[in-house]
Chains A and B, each alone.
Chain A
Amino acid sequence: MTDILMPKLSVNDARPAATGGASLIEVQNLSLFYGASKALKNISVTLGEKVVTAFIGPSGCGKSTLLRCFNRMNDLIDNVRIEGAVKIGGHDINNSSVDVIELRKRVGMVFQRSNPFPKSVYENVAYGLRLHGVKAKSELDRIVEQSLRGAALWDEVKDRLHSSALGLSGGQQQRLCIARAIAIKPEIILMDEPASALDPLATARIEELILELKKDFTIVIVTHNMQQAARISDYTAFFYIGELVEYDTTTKIFTNPAKRQTEDYVTGRFG
């Protein structure tokens, strides 16, 4: 449980009976506007540490937008206004004293489309390390290998570390992006539909990897694939048109949801 006082619990406030470990991310009455349109409506949710939380919901429901609030990637879009608070480890990340670079070091991200840099495999992983001050060659070599092993990619690329990452297959590229994200040892990894552009086999490998990564990292994953959410996540949040409809353990959401809307969505009746 958290010791932060919440002034007003909205209707949307949801907190599963048990949040696994200690709570790490707290979203309090968060609303987000793109210009005049309201993309997130008064969302309050608490995500636990070292668990996989899945965000599901139809397109345009705001789940990606919420994900991008956690590492402030929404800063890059003009005309975005945020109300309410996002706290990570008790700190309000939208506070002006927060260094966004430090935040993004602690909150890594994997995107929908694999986006390795047009550099060598090695340089892709080493880039973040160099950014954060790792200079020694031996240290870089060690962490690069460790990260590639962590992303279950080492055996496939160890002989071609210094050729372009764009020569890898789609699935390999996505695992490289995961290796790149875990190299700088974030606490949280945000995944925005990481397997949506991959074939079933590559998807399966990514899912295995996520279950493996859960031991060391807190993972928040946005997915369109209900089976995927059911397979890999511990908790699931269902969003609909900018609102958090229901948030509970994955088992509960998929077997015995409290709300009619959730049931309709997870059983495929709409969305």
Chain B
Amino acid sequence: MQPAPNQSNAPHGWLGIHRGHKARPLEWFAEKFIFAVALSTIAVVLLIFVFVAREAFPVVLGKSNTALIQPVIPPADLDKLSPAKIQEYLALTPKQFAGMDRETLRTLMDVKVEAANEVPVQFRDDPDAKRNTIEWNLMVKPHQWRGYDKPEYIWQPVGEIKKFNLIPLVIGTLKVTLIGLFFAVPLAVGAAIYVSQLARPRVREIVKPTIEMLSGIPSVVVGFFALLVMATFLQNLCGYQTRLNAFVAGIALGFAVIPVVFSIAEDALTSVPQAYTQAALALGSSRWQTAWQIVLPAALPGVFAATVLGFGRAIGETMIVLMVCSASVVSWNVFDSARSITTTIAAEMAEAVSGGPHYRILFLLGALLFAATFISNMIGDFVIHRFKTKMEGKR
């Protein structure tokens, strides 16, 4: 029987064939689901950054004032002030302000006066006491605080005059991270070359899982080990003064970074086509020459990616550095202590007053860390792309 050409009640599309997602509903659903999951990951990353940055925003805009001696308005002047001025003086939200009567406001102003009277005598004539210590100037430039004989970078968030200079933390983070990377990357890449190119299968089967198992050790355990065993060992070995310092932290950090760099570099080296290796060997190069001169350059984008990931892991690692060293000194000497950004956040967040300047600065540090990782990944991606296009002869 001939079906009518434009049958309006044709069950499923042309010639009865299912089209579009109706043909494979399950696959369609699975695909959309995975897409949604991927999208939500991006959303979560974005949300975390927004949350962190939002908390840090008042500091960036210079909205809060941490000066020890705040300007005082006599409570008697309450009636002379405009509502906006009162809100600003007492740091009230419009909603809070609306819910208060005259008496409460006066009491709050009395509290302000009392607080000003409680400032210890020795700070009364200190110009630093009147400074807002979370100005950008004081957060990134050295300042000669009273009692110091030269301008210095100081991170001292607890005390009468709170000092929030970020430079010691940035230097501490970079110092520990770089020591960790200088220790871990050559070792990890060397191990990856050995395992992927030179080792016999039996050796490979033992070494590879062992190194990768290193990533399964909780960092608090690595920190504990570094604190008790490695610190003493390295001090005996190198003979430096301070037992716990950035060097010990960096080496311990290296143990956390090695498995990350190793497994990615090993994958990259293994995926270099056998054809290259064969060609090099057939030309009469030794296995070592092949590994160094042919396989490693061919896998360089992957090895570089491994290093960038290692950097991300190192800069974000908290526990090891927290346990091993935490004094915030400005020094590039590896045998001095260091305090990293992550350590600072972990150690101080619990004690910072929620919503206070210290709390907000810790969030600012978090945002800074996020930005650093993001930028390093971007640069890494760019460099890898350049490597690849150059290698593949596309200009």
Residues on A facing B (Cβ under 8 Å): 71, 73, 76, 78, 101-105, 108-109, 111, 113, 115-119, 127-128, 131-132, 163-168, 177, 180-181, 184
Q: Which of B284, B297, B391, B394 contacts A104 (CB 8 A)?
A: B284
Check if B76 is an interface residue, CB within 8 A of chain A: no
Complex A-B: 10 CB contacts under 8 Å: A104-B283, A111-B278, A117-B279, A119-B391, A127-B283, A164-B390, A167-B393, A177-B279, A181-B282, A184-B283
Cβ–Cβ < 8 Å partners of A105 in chain B = 283-284
Interface string of B283-317 (1 = CB under 8 A from A): 11110010001100110000000000000000000
Bound-complex Cα distance A78 to B200 (A): 9
**Does B283 contact A108, Cβ atoms closer than 8 Å?**
yes
Residues of B within 8 A of A (CB): 201, 273, 275-276, 278-286, 289, 293-294, 297-298, 390-395
Query: Would B393 and A127 count as touching, CB distance under 8 A?
Result: no
Q: Given the known inter-chain contacts A115-B273, A115-B276, A117-B276, please indicate yes or no for A73 contacting B284, CB distance below 8 A.
A: no
* Contact residue among B283, B289, B391 (Cβ-Cβ distance under 8 Å from A118): B391
Residue of B281, B294, B297, B394 contacting most chain A CB atoms (<10 Å): B281
Q: What chain B residues lie within 8 Å of A165 (beta carbons)?
A: 393
CA distance A132 to B283 in the complex (A): 9
The residue of chain B having its C-beta at the shortest distance from the C-beta of A180 within the complex is: B283
Q: Are A118 and B282 in contact (CB under 8 A)?
A: no
4 residue pairs, one from A and one from B, having the closest CB atoms: A167-B393, A164-B393, A115-B275, A104-B284
Q: Chain B contacts of A127 at CB under 8 A?
A: 280, 283, 285, 293-294
Minimum C-beta distance from B297 to chain A (A):
7
- In the assembled complex, how far is the CB of residue A159 from the closest CB belonging to chain B, in whole angstroms? 13
Known: A117-B280, A118-B276. A101 touches B392 (CB 8 A): no
Interface SS of chain B: helix
Task: Specify the chain A residue showing the minimal Cβ separation from B200.
Answer: A78
- B281 close to A184 (CB less than 8 A): no
- Residues of chain A lying within 8 A (CB to CB) of residue B392: 118, 164, 166-167
Contact A184 B284, beta carbon cutoff 8 Å:
yes
Q: Evaluate contact between A163 and B284: CB separation under 8 angstroms.
A: no
Q: Which of B201, B280, B286, B394 contacts A167 (CB 8 A)?
A: B394
* A115-B284 in contact given A164-B392, A166-B393, A167-B393 (Cβ < 8 Å): no
Contacts A117-B298, A118-B297, A164-B390 given; does A101 touch B286 at CB 8 Å: yes
Contact partners of B289 in chain A: CB under 8 A: 131
Q: How far is the CA of A131 from the CA of B282 in the complex (A)?
A: 12
Q: A102-B284, A108-B283, A115-B273 are in contact. List 18 more A-B contacts (CB 8 A).
A: A101-B285, A104-B282, A104-B284, A105-B284, A111-B278, A111-B282, A113-B275, A117-B279, A117-B294, A117-B298, A118-B298, A127-B285, A128-B283, A128-B284, A132-B284, A167-B392, A168-B393, A181-B283
Complex interface: chain B residues within 8 A of A113 (CB): 275
- A159 and B369 CA atoms in complex are apart in Å by 47
**Most chain A Cβ neighbours within 10 Å, of B273, B279, B298, B390:** B279
Closest to B279 in A: A115
Cβ of B298: which chain A residues have Cβ within 8 Å of it?
117-118
Question: Given the complex of chains A and B, what is the CA–CA distance between A237 and B357 in angstroms?
Answer: 87
User: Contacts of A180 on B, CB cut-off 8 Å?
Assistant: 279, 283
